[in-house]
């Protein structure tokens, strides 16, 4: 499972309004509700599991990347939302730098291998400088999605 399989253009927020990691997480969860990827009545519970995971250790992995993630029994397939902040979000990242790309993803409870594999694929892709730069410079969610599809092993 790779980034191109998880996202649609509607699940990309090219202009995050968030100032910190908690606001970014809430904004991306709101996107998943708005796009029908998670049920509105599950919003608070899902927010809680993501916050619990994030509290244990920041998922700001450096290079301007944050990958908040969690497992929950409230979803049935891997899903996620990508946000871009041109100003940068305070994410308590490992390198103490602001985060410009936030990839929230959720994995169904009990799918540990899929969770690890998805996390590894996302991190590997986002660690590529030219990929991050292309996403940061893309003019729209649709353009960002095309870049993701072309780079993540799926065809547009």
Residue 78 pLDDT exceeds 80: yes
Phi, psi of 82 (to 5 degrees): -115, 130
Q: Is 112 helix (H, G, I), strand (E, B) or coil?
A: helix
130's enclosing H/E stretch is: helix 129-137
Q: How far apart are CA 100 and CA 91, in angstroms?
A: 10
Q: How far apart are CA 110 and CA 106, in angstroms?
A: 12
Catalytic positions, written as ranges: 69
User: pLDDT for 18-61, tens place per residue?
Assistant: 999 999 999 999 999 999 999 999 999 999 999 999 999 889 99
User: pLDDT for 20-32, tens place per residue?
Assistant: 999 999 999 999 9
Superfamily of domain 3-151: Mannitol-specific EII; Chain A (3.40.930.10)
User: pLDDT for 97-114, tens place per residue?
Assistant: 999 999 999 999 998 888
Structural domain boundaries in the chain: 3-151
């Amino acid at each position: 499972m790779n980034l191109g399989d998880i996202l649609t253009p509607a699940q990309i927020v090219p202009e995050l309004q968030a100032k910190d990691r908690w606001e970014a997480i809430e904004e991306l969860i709101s996107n998943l509700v708005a796009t029908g990827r998670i049920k509105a009545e599950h919003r608070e519970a899902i927010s809680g599991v993501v916050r619990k995971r994030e509290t244990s250790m920041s998922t700001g992995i450096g290079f301007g990347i944050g990958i908040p993630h969690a497992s929950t029994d409230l979803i049935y397939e891997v899903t996620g939302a990508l946000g871009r902040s041109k100003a940068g979000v305070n994410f308590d990242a490992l390198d103490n730098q602001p985060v410009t790309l936030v990839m929230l993803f959720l994995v169904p409870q009990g799918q540990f291998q899929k969770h690890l594999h998805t996390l590894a694929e996302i991190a590997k892709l986002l660690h590529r400088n030219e990929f991050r730069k292309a996403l940061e410079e893309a003019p729209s969610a649709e353009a960002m999605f095309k870049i993701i599809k072309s780079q993540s092993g799926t065809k547009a």
